[in-house]
């Protein structure tokens, strides 16, 4: 780092985990939680009788394991179980115009919403409203739409299977498949790409496979922050001597070394375990080049082995018996030059060959990946190149081997399984018709990008959001905010206040719900819900804490209320289902036969695994084979302009998506601020800039193809050990740079991780997003 100093920016020398993590938990708890609630809450996380951690979707170790320590899990729990409240009296004293001026961090930090609220235009405040009155007005507004396809029904992936199932049932009976979903911004490239490759859009490994693998590749994910319990798994593998190869443009501490708070000796001696055996800092968007380069090296080694009469390097028997498309892949890889691979990846041929060598020498390989792979213009192709690499040596459908997408929200995968999809299959619609006797809509609906564009163009007039913070999570902050301000109806089912709630429709409602940590009592008594983790394990979750307010209702209850008020002739007995979630599970089983014997199996500790055909080497593809799929070319994204840089947007250690827990990013050495841009020293000096300078960032290429300027200004340049030509800043601060149209062509996943930019010395000092033209505000 250069000699200049920036307040709040320093080098972080420690490992991931360790005492720093314990200290951070203590601070999170003392800042947010009442002591009485805290002691109960943390001990019930991911326990057989407790609630599923609302943090990430990494699976739990063993059926009856003891509580696994996790700093960011503790933050997620304490953030929900906070003692702070935002009450009707607070809303009465603060106009929406005032609230807009608070930061995202402050807004959510106000605490749990306690009462249903409706916007009142005369006073520019949210006012309390009785539940039944809110439902009546929402039902009237939805029924007033000329066409059900003019409403959008968003889901954020924290919703339980039971809530999500009722939600899709209501929306389909209402008559639309407009299901924008947080998954559309996240692993949609997986959901679209993997079914074409291996017949299923989910990971093929289970946790136990990590005990039997001989090499792990971690591509484009940051487990120290986003899936911290995964570090225990990686630590065990490292201690077994398993090579762990990382491909990431940034040096992420959690992937370098880890001190396990579970292991007293490491804690007391200050020792840490190395995680990555090799760390390749590739260029942003260089993944296809590295993956093709590795395949090229493997295929070359195989040719040599054949010529020398040695055992083959590829698994030829598997390829013959189980796959199609191999010849086309060989041809594509042969046509890809090493010069092109080096240029696009930023790595040398020798480095790529070394990675390939580790891959080829390991009998069983697991490849893990996250948003660094999916959130690109060619996200789907990226995912498919990973599948190609694994298939070359039969690394799918075998113990200790497979593909491992790290899912986002704790139940995003489950929500999709129980019907949150804009493209219903015939089987789904048949199941609904047979179970409920109404005709579900067949026409495909909107995903997240299509939904916001429809709202922008006035084709959609209503938004119902089951959780989340859609306006802030989406690209193009300015346009998305302006679009949302045109709605006739906005309904937010939420636990905490966020900026999406402050973008006003003609009628706006905030409906506060129970969180996963809280006791949910319905007509037949306390209820449990179910969730599905990244490895297709389904298990129960039952809240134990006293609800934050007596006026809160569960998500299923709220959905039932809206459904009854919207659909006077409904075919669904909402009260019966809401009164006993076992009956919802019985219905899930009727519509989705894979949930066979659901209520019994979910009560077994640890739950059960949903079938993943590819794990058994059954390929649900058109030709019943796993398919090598060729992606032409190497440049994931349009080439940069001369002097341009490629920007990626990422999460700090103190955030959960748009929820900002704090202003620190400990492992990257940042404290008390988020207005930073990480840059290579050479990229700074090439622009006459130095560490600490204020800079403005201008989108180029595809993100300004419509002729509009997209820029964020007044950020601070931080010299960082990032790949040259690549720069990084936090999400959502960077979202204003990305056009809604800049997304993966095949899956619609926004290209949040490949944003071509120019960077210049700053001319201004503010960075806050502007309030949209408030059409419906006072």
Ligand X SMILES: Nc1nc2c(c(=O)[nH]1)N[C@H]1C(S)=C(S)[C@@H](COP(=O)(O)OP(=O)(O)OC[C@H]3O[C@@H](n4cnc5c(=O)[nH]c(N)nc54)[C@H](O)[C@@H]3O)O[C@H]1N2
Q: Which residue has the tokens 């163009």?
A: 457
Q: How far is the CB of 133 from Mo ion (least distance, A)?
A: 35
Q: Which does 351 bind (CB under 5 to 8 A by kind): Mo ion, ligand X, none?
A: none
Q: Which does 658 bind (CB under 5 to 8 A by kind): ligand X, Mo ion, none?
A: ligand X
Residue among 429 and 649 whose Cβ is closer to ligand X:
649
Q: Is the dihedral of CA 136, 115, 471, 376 positive or negative?
A: negative
Q: Which does 510 bind (CB under 5 to 8 A by kind): Mo ion, ligand X, none?
A: none
Q: CA angle, 213 as apex, 207 and 216 as ends, to 5°?
A: 90
Q: Which does 367 bind (CB under 5 to 8 A by kind): ligand X, Mo ion, none?
A: none
Residue among 181 and 675 whose Cβ is closer to Mo ion:
181
Q: How far is the CB of 230 from Mo ion (least distance, A)?
A: 15
> How is 682-739 classified by DSSP, letter by letter?
HHHHHTT--TT-EEEEEE-GGGGTTS---EEEEEEEEE-SPPTTEEEEETTTTGGGS-
Q: Which does 55 bind (CB under 5 to 8 A by kind): Mo ion, ligand X, none?
A: ligand X
The residue among 453, 456, 460 whose CA lies nearest residue 483 is: 456
Q: How far is the CB of 705 from ligand X (least distance, A)?
A: 19
Residue among 46 and 226 whose Cβ is closer to ligand X:
226
Residue among 319 and 736 whose Cβ is closer to ligand X:
736
HEC-encoded secondary structure of 398-418: CCCCEEEECCCECCHHHHHHC
Residue among 189 and 330 whose Cβ is closer to ligand X:
189
Of 160-168, 263-271, 402-410, 722-730, the segment contacting Mo ion by CB under 5 A is 402-410
Q: How far is the CB of 182 from Mo ion (least distance, A)?
A: 6
Residue among 57 and 150 whose Cβ is closer to Mo ion:
57
Of 26-34, 95-103, 406-414, 495-503, the segment contacting Mo ion by CB under 5 A is 406-414
User: Which residue of 107, 145, 186, 558 would you call a contact of Mo ion, by CB under 5 A?
Assistant: 186
Q: Which does 172 bind (CB under 5 to 8 A by kind): ligand X, Mo ion, none?
A: none
Specify the length of the chain in residues: 778
Of 77-85, 408-416, 554-562, 723-731, the segment contacting Mo ion by CB under 5 A is 408-416
Contacts of 196 (CB under 8 A, 6+ apart): 384, 621, 627, 629
CB distance 742 to 700 below 8 Å: no
Q: How far is the CB of 548 from ligand X (least distance, A)?
A: 11
Closest residue to Mo ion, based on beta-carbon distance: 408
Residue among 369 and 574 whose Cβ is closer to ligand X:
369
Q: Where are the alpha helices (DSSP H) in 400-476?
A: 412-417, 426-436, 448-456, 470-473
* Helix or strand run (H / E) with residue 173: helix 161-174
CB atoms within 10 A of CB 651: 16
Alpha carbons 698 and 269: distance in angstroms, whole number: 47
CB distance 689 to 761 below 8 Å: yes
Contacts of 624 (CB under 8 A, 6+ apart): none
The residue among 506, 419, 498 whose CA lies nearest residue 462 is: 506
Q: How far is the CB of 624 from Mo ion (least distance, A)?
A: 32
Q: How far is the CB of 317 from ligand X (least distance, A)?
A: 31
Q: Which does 341 bind (CB under 5 to 8 A by kind): ligand X, Mo ion, none?
A: none
Q: Which does 731 bind (CB under 5 to 8 A by kind): Mo ion, ligand X, none?
A: ligand X
Alpha carbons 79 and 771: distance in angstroms, whole number: 26
Looking only at the bridges linking them, the beta strands covering 257-259 and 16-17 are parallel
Q: How far is the CB of 619 from ligand X (least distance, A)?
A: 27
Q: Is the dihedral of CA 354, 357, 358, 359 positive or negative?
A: positive
Residue among 37 and 516 whose Cβ is closer to Mo ion:
516
Q: How far is the CB of 657 from ligand X (least distance, A)?
A: 3
- b/e per residue, 726-752, with b = 16+ CB within 10 A? bbbbbbbbbbbbbbbebbbebbbbbbb
| Cα–chain center distance at 738 | 18
650 is an interface residue for Mo ion by CB under 5 A: no
Of 180-188, 244-252, 413-421, 742-750, the segment contacting Mo ion by CB under 5 A is 180-188
Q: Which does 517 bind (CB under 5 to 8 A by kind): Mo ion, ligand X, none?
A: none
Residue among 700 and 749 whose Cβ is closer to Mo ion:
749
Residue among 158 and 172 whose Cβ is closer to Mo ion:
158
Q: How far is the CB of 414 from Mo ion (least distance, A)?
A: 14
User: Which residue of 15, 180, 285, 408 would you call a contact of Mo ion, by CB under 5 A?
Assistant: 408
Alpha carbons 756 and 551: distance in angstroms, whole number: 47
As given in the structure block, the two tokens for residue 129 are 């409203």
Q: How far is the CB of 122 from ligand X (least distance, A)?
A: 26
Q: How far is the CB of 431 from ligand X (least distance, A)?
A: 25
CB distance 83 to 548 below 8 Å: no
Residue among 72 and 323 whose Cβ is closer to ligand X:
72
The residue among 22, 352, 402, 393 whose CA lies nearest residue 205 is: 402
Q: How far is the CB of 530 from ligand X (least distance, A)?
A: 14
The burial of 529, by beta-carbon neighbours within 10 Å (0-12 exposed, 13-18 middle, 19 or more buried), is given as buried
Which residues form the interface with ligand X (CB under 6 A)?
55-56, 72, 108, 156, 158, 182, 185-186, 219-222, 225-226, 247-250, 252, 284-285, 287, 370-372, 375, 406, 408-409, 466-470, 473, 493-496, 498, 513, 515-516, 555, 648-651, 655-659, 731-732, 734-735, 752-753
Residue among 316 and 651 whose Cβ is closer to ligand X:
651
The burial of 460, by beta-carbon neighbours within 10 Å (0-12 exposed, 13-18 middle, 19 or more buried), is given as buried
Residue among 3 and 550 whose Cβ is closer to ligand X:
550
Q: Which residues bind Mo ion (CB under 5 A)?
A: 186, 408
């Amino acid at each position: 780092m250069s000699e200049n100093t920036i307040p709040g920016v320093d080098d972080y020398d420690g490992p991931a985990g360790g005492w720093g993590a314990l200290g951070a938990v203590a601070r999170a708890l003392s800042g947010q939680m009442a002591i009485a609630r805290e002691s109960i809450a943390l001990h019930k996380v991911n326990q057989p009788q407790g609630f599923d951690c609302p943090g990430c979707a990494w699976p739990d170790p063993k059926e009856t394991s003891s509580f696994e320590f996790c700093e960011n899990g503790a933050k997620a729990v304490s953030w929900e179980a906070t003692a702070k409240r935002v009450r009707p009296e607070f809303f009465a004293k603060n106009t929406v115009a005032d609230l807009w001026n608070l930061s995202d961090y402050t807004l959510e930090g106000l605490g749990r919403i306690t009462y249903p609220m409706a916007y009142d235009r005369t006073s520019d405040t949210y006012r309390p409203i009785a539940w039944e009155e809110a439902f009546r007005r929402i039902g009237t507004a939805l029924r007033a739409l000329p066409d059900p396809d003019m409403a959008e029904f968003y889901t954020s992936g924290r919703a339980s299977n039971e809530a999500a199932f009722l939600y899709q049932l209501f929306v389909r009976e209402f008559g639309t498949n407009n299901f924008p979903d947080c998954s559309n911004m996240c692993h949609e490239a997986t959901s679209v790409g993997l079914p074409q490759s291996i017949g299923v859009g989910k990971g093929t490994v289970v946790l136990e496979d990590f005990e039997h693998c001989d090499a792990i590749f971690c591509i484009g994910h940051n487990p120290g922050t986003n899936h911290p319990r995964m570090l225990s798994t990686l630590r065990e593998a490292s201690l077994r001597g398993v090579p762990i190869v990382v491909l990431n443009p940034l040096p992420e501490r959690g992937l370098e070394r880890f001190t396990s708070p579970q292991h007293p000796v490491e804690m007391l001696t200050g020792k840490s375990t190395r995680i990555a055996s090799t760390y390749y800092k590739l260029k942003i968007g260089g993944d296809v080049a590295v993956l093709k380069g590795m395949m090229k090296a493997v295929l070359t080694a195989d040719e040599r082995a054949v010529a020398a009469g040695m055992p083959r390097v590829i698994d030829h028997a598997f390829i013959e018996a189980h796959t199609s498309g191999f010849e086309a892949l060989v041809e594509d890889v042969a046509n890809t030059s090493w010069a092109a691979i080096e240029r696009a990846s930023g790595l040398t041929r020798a480095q790529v060959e070394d990675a390939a060598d580790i891959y080829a020498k390991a009998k069983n390989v697991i490849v893990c990946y996250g948003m660094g792979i999916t959130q690109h213009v060619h996200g789907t192709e990226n995912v498919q190149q990973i599948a190609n690499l694994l298939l070359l040596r039969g690394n799918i459908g075998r113990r200790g081997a497979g593909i491992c997408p790290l899912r986002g929200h704790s139940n995003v995968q489950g929500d999709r399984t129980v019907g949150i999809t804009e493209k219903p299959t015939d089987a789904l619609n048949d199941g609904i018709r047979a179970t409920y006797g109404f005709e579900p809509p067949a026409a495909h609906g909107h995903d997240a990008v299509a939904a916001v564009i429809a709202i922008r163009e006035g084709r959609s007039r209503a938004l119902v959001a089951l959780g989340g913070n859609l306006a802030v999570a989406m690209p193009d902050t300015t346009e998305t905010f302006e679009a949302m301000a045109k709605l006739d109806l906005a309904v937010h089912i939420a636990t905490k206040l966020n900026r999406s709630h402050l973008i006003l429709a003609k009628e706006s409602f905030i409906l506060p719900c129970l969180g996963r940590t809280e006791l949910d009592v319905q007509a037949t008594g306390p209820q449990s819900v179910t969730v599905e983790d990244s490895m297709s394990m389904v298990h129960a979750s039952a809240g134990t804490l006293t609800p934050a307010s007596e006026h809160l209702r569960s998500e299923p209850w709220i959905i039932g209320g809206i459904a009854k008020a919207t659909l006077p002739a409904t075919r669904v007995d909402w009260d019966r289902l809401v009164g006993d979630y076992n009956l919802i599970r019985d219905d899930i089983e009727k519509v989705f036969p894979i949930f066979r014997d659901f209520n019994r199996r979910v009560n077994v500790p640890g739950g059960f695994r949903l079938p993943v055909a590819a794990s058994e080497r059954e390929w649900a593809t058109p030709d019943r084979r796993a398919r090598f799929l060729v992606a032409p070319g190497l440049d994931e994204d349009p080439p940069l302009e001369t002097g341009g840089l490629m920007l990626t947007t990422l999460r700090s250690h103190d955030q959960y998506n748009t929820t900002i827990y704090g202003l620190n990013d400990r492992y990257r050495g940042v404290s008390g601020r988020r207005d930073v841009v990480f840059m290579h020293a050479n990229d700074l000096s090439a622009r006459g800039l130095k560490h600490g300078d204020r800079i403005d960032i201008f989108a180029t290429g595809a993100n300004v193809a419509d002729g509009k300027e997209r820029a964020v200004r007044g950020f601070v340049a931080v010299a960082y050990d990032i790949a040259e030509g690549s720069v990084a800043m936090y999400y959502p601060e960077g979202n204003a740079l990305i056009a809604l149209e800049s997304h993966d062509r095949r899956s619609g996943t926004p290209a949040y991780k490949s944003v071509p930019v120019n960077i210049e010395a700053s001319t201004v000092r503010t960075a806050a997003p502007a309030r949209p033209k408030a059409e419906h505000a006072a």
